Amino acid sequence: MIRSSTGNRVRILTQDPDYVDETKKVLRKVGFEVVGQFGAGGFAELDDETVVFTGIANAPIKQIIADIARPALIIALGEGKTFNATDELYGDPESPRTKRMWREYESWDFPVEPTEANYMGEMDKLKIHARNATRITIDDLFSE
């Protein structure tokens, strides 16, 4: 769809060490490149033009992103919290680095039909983060 409207090829990458062969086969069939099966290969592909989707992660994905690049768009779970309702640490918690990164983004709730929210678990808490046109200053990076 993107190629037909822009004329450009857009790479769609996915990474999850738990993918089984059948999952990888299906993903490749619909146009995804499966990367980083045994390491952080997907992170090596991040840049300021990337769109990142991270659902229920059991790793500090947003913290790693904050150290590498400022993607154009990030869709991720997040209420800006580190602990869930039962005081357990989220697998992808917020940190001082991610909180500084979010200052460079405008955020909205991912649109979810109210009737479907009950069936989505935590996925109804997705946020869409779009990077602001202007960059944060160096002084902002080191002030709390």
pLDDT surpasses 80 at 45: yes
Please give the residue that has the higher pLDDT: either 107 or 119.
107
In this structure, the answer to whether residues 108 and 40 fall within a common structural domain is no
In this structure, the answer to whether residues 124 and 59 fall within a common structural domain is yes
In this structure, the answer to whether residues 78 and 144 fall within a common structural domain is yes
The model's confidence at residue 1, banded by pLDDT at 50, 70 and 90, is very low
In this structure, the answer to whether residues 71 and 26 fall within a common structural domain is no
Give dist(CA 35, CA 13) in Å, integer: 7
In this structure, the answer to whether residues 37 and 96 fall within a common structural domain is no
Give dist(CA 55, CA 127) in Å, integer: 10
DSSP 136: P
**pTM of this prediction?**
0.74
In this structure, the answer to whether residues 55 and 84 fall within a common structural domain is yes
Give dist(CA 139, CA 130) in Å, integer: 22
Residue 22: per-residue pLDDT: 96
Give dist(CA 134, CA 137) in Å, integer: 9
Q: What is the mean pLDDT of the chain?
A: 80
Give the chain's domain count. 2
Q: Which domain holds residue 59?
A: 47-144
Domain boundary among 10, 26, 45: 45
Give dist(CA 72, CA 24) in Å, integer: 26
In this structure, the answer to whether residues 76 and 136 fall within a common structural domain is yes
Percentage of residues in the chain with pLDDT exceeding 90? 24
**What's the angle, vertex CA 27, arms to CA 5 and CA 79, rounded to 5?**
80
